[in-house]
Structure 1
């Protein structure tokens, strides 16, 4: 069968290769791959900028969607079910968090990840997944199920925002999302579903991004800093990883505000910041700044529920390019896309 492979740590090794058919172990589902979402992490992996080097090729892909072909005896799944596979697995000798199913909060870094760290991903015509790490989807979600993994990241972000908010009286009214990429737009969707007044800031002055935000019933700000917003929101989800916006967010929430950092910054850029003012603002206003990445099983399920409740036509517009498997390398070309998806099968 065909798969999208690369050699971790080696640039220029991306390709479509023939690999052995997967052999399901006890408790595994055999799955027909349907679609694979591509994100910035995948681009960093194939460029050699990120990852855990090894000599042999690895199958790429962590934003999965597939249809079950074969199930183990006594399984809660059935052939034909739509599923996504969870990305992370707990460490072999689990830390306290991993041992309690909170493997997204692993303390010792010995976790593994499908398509990212030490485990083959979901970028193949067929793949296997442990039934315990598969999430069944509403059949009505169809091919939009490929958005579950990125949505799980923001489902976790919102769960933690609400947990932090519950430290005291918490009735937020306004939320600002910085960045209108897939994570930012999905974060805005989940904010909208919570009945909040949603604002989104992005540099794009026109085109699809402003239209998607407007059709969500939110307010779009075409700018590169928070001065354009004109008020201090209760919650900021920073989804760009841009250093100036990160510092800007810390100084521009309402009192007892919450800043969730969901964008990953690249290193090597030095910025000047008034650390004293940032500290003073956070302390005197009881603000919270926290980071979040990855997701565990309940976040995947929450994401699947959120997508099932969303307008399917709006979600479909997030996917700006679909490519067949034999054109997979084109998915990594940088352009004006929101989300690129590789179709692995029918």
Structure 2
């Protein structure tokens, strides 16, 4: 038995929570995957997986063995990658996911540079705002905004996202310019409707060092960023958006920032990837490249950008523990 191959098959079954999906991902017959896992269990003389007709779960021995396999396979990949990196540029497929507007504003315009640097990488860029299970969906890394939950993921901080509260000049001429958040009681907002919770997203401000939530009156709501900004530019109400989405409208005079001294606390932007893939040459190349893009952009703060340690996992080993979610849906959804 090829034990290294057996480890790869076993971990893929756990990652995808399915023998058939693992067989498809590895381009192997279904029976071969099942036979390999059975042979591995026979060799180890322990049961690694509990199997029922509806689900697969790790036994305690299987969970411990899975963690060791992940580390061993990562070490093997690191050894191979270090040799490949000395003489060749990265090659192969790379699946990346990020919010639509973040991708369109920062990443897509710079893709010619990425292709010129890494012609051997076949990049598949997903733009959207759904929660992505990196392991189960086969995504190599994601760029996310907001504090990250505990999971079996590695995160590198790219910078932080400034938020601004804005309105059109015509709206401010008619309704007046608020000088503090108490004045917002006499104003109207365009509400942003969460596609996840189907509820309206409140605005937040920092007043005297304290985060304050404000719910404003509104007769209009949308769940799409361009429409959200467009409504504000037409004078239909006040909105709160990421600076990178509003900067062109602000520069043109279509929008005016209000309450600049009470901006919300900036939220971190991170690139996130499964811990066992962090040594992939393709992932490493993309992480370094995207870090450069944010460093060169004047729309993001870089003072807190730094490599981040692996996010705590405790002793948890779950097939779906690779789900990358954001703690603040308000920011992410506004950035779609």
Quickly name the TM-score band, shorter chain normalised.
under 0.3
Which has the higher relative contact order, 1 or 2, with Cα contacts under 8 A spaced 6 or more apart? Answer: 2
* Richer in helix (by share): 2
